[in-house]
């Protein structure tokens, strides 16, 4: 059962009761992410997420970890492009502890100067590690190439230059400005009573005000980004070439999101997908190949990743484009559509068997829709997608002049890069 209450200060409390479970997952979500940062602030939201676990007025960082470990629970956080979440998962009997811990770090974190320096080192290592993982790093490069100078394209962890420049006052001022009640959602799922949850959160967070640092007017990152196109080679000494080919997709609330789910899954969402069967199974040109889709409040993108040999890069790109053309020309069978719909429905419902996945589900529904979208409705809408829906969407998205190709690998010499670029430009225009 889903319930929603808005506290007097604007904080939203949403919950999904699951009385047949023993666990409860609870998260404090803030509608602030890396897209809400200026260029000089890039990475500060992620840095703050780390700092909130480094001690409060009542607890040291070690005590926060010890109290949760003592009950076998989990406490963690993550930062995305559009929001930050601090969450805990415990047995229902330990929910008061989870609420106390989360409220304490959210309201009373100390931002200790020594902890800031230690965590700065950790985050710089995190950035370096990401750059040393090419199949992940190419996605960061693609995002920058695709979104150009818009904040939504910048890396969530920030850059070495920005992370090194942050001072304690920068964290305090940003925290006051962005962690406003109107941007906060408390989401919970599991063996919990909504009225009890609302009472507890009102007692702890009900007095939170604007903290005296509210922003005036819209933030730079809240404007809709313009998406680019072109070919962007990035040279790095690697054994493989890593490819991301992408285009504009759909936003979170776009009416065409259900055909988009089916299209993405059919294209490269599993071992039976078009890309996996054609590029890996039939031709052996890539160990890893898949499609991916990211949706935000106002935009989204659909892309394809492949890791292959440098010499096979042009061939793999052409194979990807060929599969896109086939989908746009209605090369889909009824059996393929039904299989893909079953895959989507089954994976979604299996993914919602835990309280933490339901907690995330109800929070994201509140963020992007302002209400709960029932799973029965989602399943019905997926099952209702037709072949014509997919072909129409494919023709809307697969436009040769609006594709971005990001390449990461050891492309030796200008002639090789120019040749590859010319070939790709021709392919996109065909």
| 212-222 pLDDT, tens digit each | 544 555 666 68
- Contact of 90 with 23, CB cutoff 8 Å: yes
Label residue 105 left, alpha or beta by phi (over 0 means left) and psi (-120 to 50 means alpha). alpha
Q: What percent of the chain has pLDDT over 70?
A: 93
Task: Inform me whether the pLDDT recorded for 389 exceeds 60.
Answer: yes
Phi, psi at 232, each rounded to 5°: -130, 95
Task: Inform me whether the pLDDT recorded for 426 exceeds 90.
Answer: no
Mean pLDDT of 180-187: 96
Q: For residue 134, how many other CB atoms are within 10 A of its CB?
A: 20
Mean pLDDT of 209-238: 77
- Contact of 286 with 307, CB cutoff 8 Å: yes
Give all domains of the chain, ordered by start, each with its CATH number: 2-205 (3.30.830.10), 230-429 (3.30.830.10)
Alpha-carbon distances of 211 from 166, 178, 198, rounded to whole Å: 21, 9, 22
Q: Is 200 a catalytic residue?
A: no
What pLDDT sits at residue 218? 62
| Catalytic pick among 49, 67, 82, 119 | 49
- The lowest-confidence range among 49-53, 326-330, 339-343, 344-348 is 326-330
Distance separating alpha carbons of residues 14 and 107, to the nearest angstrom: 20
3-class DSSP assignment, residue 230 = strand
> Model confidence at 223, in pLDDT bands (50, 70, 90)?
confident
Angle in degrees, CA 270, 275, 278, rounded to 5: 120
Q: Tokens for 22?
A: 């023993």
What pLDDT sits at residue 228? 82
What pLDDT sits at residue 339? 95
Q: Is 80 exposed, middle or buried (0-12, 13-18, 19+ CB in 10 A)?
A: middle
What pLDDT sits at residue 420? 46
What pLDDT sits at residue 160? 96
Phi, psi at 367, each rounded to 5°: -65, -45
| pTM given for the model | 0.92
Q: Tokens for 306?
A: 């492949």
């Amino acid at each position: 059962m889903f319930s929603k209450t808005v506290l007097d200060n604007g904080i939203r409390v949403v919950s999904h009761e699951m009385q047949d479970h023993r666990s409860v997952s609870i998260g404090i979500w803030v509608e602030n992410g890396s897209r809400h940062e200026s260029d000089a602030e890039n990475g500060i939201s992620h840095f703050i997420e780390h700092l909130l676990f480094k001690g409060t007025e009542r607890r040291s960082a070690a005590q926060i970890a010890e109290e949760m470990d003592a009950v076998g629970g989990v406490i963690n956080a993550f930062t995305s492009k559009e929001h930050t979440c601090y969450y805990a998962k415990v047995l229902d009997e330990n929910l008061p502890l989870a609420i106390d811990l989360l409220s304490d770090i959210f309201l009373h974190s100390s931002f200790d100067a020594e902890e800031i320096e230690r965590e700065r080192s950790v985050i710089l290592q995190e950035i370096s590690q990401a750059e040393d993982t090419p199949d992940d790093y190419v996605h960061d490069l693609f995002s920058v190439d695709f979104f150009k100078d818009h904040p939504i394209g910048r890396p969530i962890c920030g850059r070495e230059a920005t992370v090194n420049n942050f001072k304690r006052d920068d964290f305090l001022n940003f925290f006051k400005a962005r962690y406003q009640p109107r941007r906060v959602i408390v989401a919970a799922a599991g063996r919990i009573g909504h009225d009890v949850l609302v009472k507890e959160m009102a007692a702890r967070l009900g007095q939170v005000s604007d903290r005296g640092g509210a922003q005036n007017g819209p933030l730079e990152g809240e404007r809709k980004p313009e998406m680019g196109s072109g070919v962007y080679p990035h040279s790095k000494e690697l054994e493989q070439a890593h490819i991301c080919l992408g285009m504009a997709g759909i936003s979170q609330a776009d009416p065409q999101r259900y055909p988009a789910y089916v299209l993405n899954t059919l294209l490269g969402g599993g071992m039976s997908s078009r890309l996996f069967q054609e590029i890996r199974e039939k031709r052996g040109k890539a160990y890893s190949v898949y499609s991916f889709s990211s949706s935000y409040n106002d935009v989204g993108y659909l892309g394809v990743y492949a890791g292959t040999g440098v010499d096979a890069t042009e061939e793999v790109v052409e194979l990807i484009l060929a599969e896109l053309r086939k989908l746009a020309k209605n090369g889909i069978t009824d059996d393929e559509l039904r299989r893909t719909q079953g895959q989507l429905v089954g994976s979604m419902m299996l993914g919602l068997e835990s309280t933490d996945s339901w907690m995330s589900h109800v929070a994201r529904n509140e963020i992007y829709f302002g209400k709960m979208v029932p799973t029965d409705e989602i399943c019905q809408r997926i099952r209702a997608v037709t072949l014509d829906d997919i072909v129409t969407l494919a023709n809307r998205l697969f436009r040769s002049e609006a594709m971005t190709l990001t390449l990461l690998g050891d492309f030796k010499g200008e002639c090789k890069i120019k040749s590859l670029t010319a070939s790709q430009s021709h392919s996109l225009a065909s």
